[in-house]
Copies of this chain bind each other. A is one copy, B any other.
Amino acid sequence: MSDLIRPRTLKGFRDFLPEAAIPREAVIATALEVYRNYGYSPIDTPVLEYADILLGKGSDETDKQTYRFTDHGGRDVAMRFDLTVPFARFAAQHIGVLGTPFKRYHVGPVWRGENTQRGRYREFVQFDFDIIGTESSLADIETILVAHDVFAALGFERFSVRVNDRRVLNGLLEKFGLDGAAVAVLRALDKLPKVGPDGVRRELAAAGADDAAVAAIMSLVGITGSNREVVTQLREMMADSPTAMAGVEGLHALAEAVAALGIDEARVHIDLSIARGLDYYTGMVFETFLDDLPEIGSCCSGGRYADLASLYTKQRLPGVGGSLGVDRLLAAMDELGLVDGRATWAPVLVTVFDDEGRLHALRLAGELRAAGIGAEVFPDTKRLGAQLKYADRRGHRLVVIAGPDERTAGQVQIKDLAAGTSQSIDEGDFVAAVGAWLEA
């Protein structure tokens, strides 16, 4: 047996055991329901694409990180490194059939051969949602509402969707003749949490901003207050910039919607320091933070872009959307103690003690399932202690016991593992009793 292959995974890749796969399924299902309820529809694209499609607009870093190879047919292919580029290709290819506006969600793994020393994985799940073919600020607002609703539905009490509009800063930069330095300025601002205001000032100067420009930029990102107060200040400060005012009016519309819908301002607020250092975005941008775990970074980010698919089609496709970082969110939930460690979705284990009891156990489990209650039948006729231990380790909440004595009496014993209590119930009443017990 020395020729066994050692079971192992690649560096930066990982297995999901049930305790980790269950919360991931739950997070995805929760976001899925929100996306669907807002009218986003699912799409899927291949994991493998022609390399020129995926890398057409890639940076050097993306190029280096992409898994790329030659397939059996001699084609230069690559594994997707995000869901945005495939969506752009998809939209360019199918927009004639899809029509506009088009709202899609897309969930799936992506691959980047990143340096794993930074605690990053080389395979991780993204869950994106976008609406394309419209420039309406209503779509911007809905994007923020989706992010808000996902975090609320996930059960977080304290989170904040922080919203900015790229045009406000652009307007300011225009005033100082810094239009060409926008990306460098954004990258500098992105580092605010890391390097602090003085560090950002140095980076801004390096990007070409003179003292007056640095002061104006720092003054802009330093504006605080309620959403309406921030809008009021911006309207005064930027009145002479049409570019900036377009952004301010977008933020105003969002602030009004948040107020009208009764959403807590602590959960959705304007934050002028949000930069998103990608030149891809052209209007509203947002990031989402967990107030109890800010250091983990944004768990849902996105914004508005002027043209999704210019690499692949002449048809201009403006849009707005966001991306939920499923794995980062799960790491946060784990750290916040929001993951219960159960290894099964089925709340009930039905025990089996003897060959005569097997059909009986199958029937009891079938009755529970018919009532929508997940029930697993222990497959072997082991002693009760072993079956209880199994249920305890898996995280079953109730154990149903129907040995020879119970069957003779026409009864079923229900055992609550956490409470350590048990009760005997007539067979005819046991499904209702289990249902009530689980709801309690």
Contact = CB atoms under 8 A, between A and B. Distances in A.
B374 A46 contact: no
Interface string A38-51: 11011111111110
B17 A94 contact: yes
Given A103-B376, A260-B359, A92 B7 contact: yes
A7 B89 contact: yes
Nearest to A396: B39
**Could you say how many copies of this chain the assembly holds?**
2
Nearest to A381: B136
Contacts of A309: 7
Contacts of A4: 311-314
A316 to B, nearest CB: 12
Contact of A13 (B46, B93, B111, B365): B46
Contacts of A42: 16, 18, 21-22, 25, 345
Nearest to A123: B46
Interface string A373-389: 11111111100000000
B46 A14 contact: yes
A349 B38 CA distance: 10
A21 B5 contact: no
20 contacts: A8-B93, A10-B46, A10-B49, A10-B50, A16-B45, A18-B41, A22-B41, A37-B346, A37-B375, A39-B344, A39-B377, A41-B344, A41-B345, A64-B72, A67-B72, A72-B113, A73-B113, A138-B352, A145-B362, A260-B363
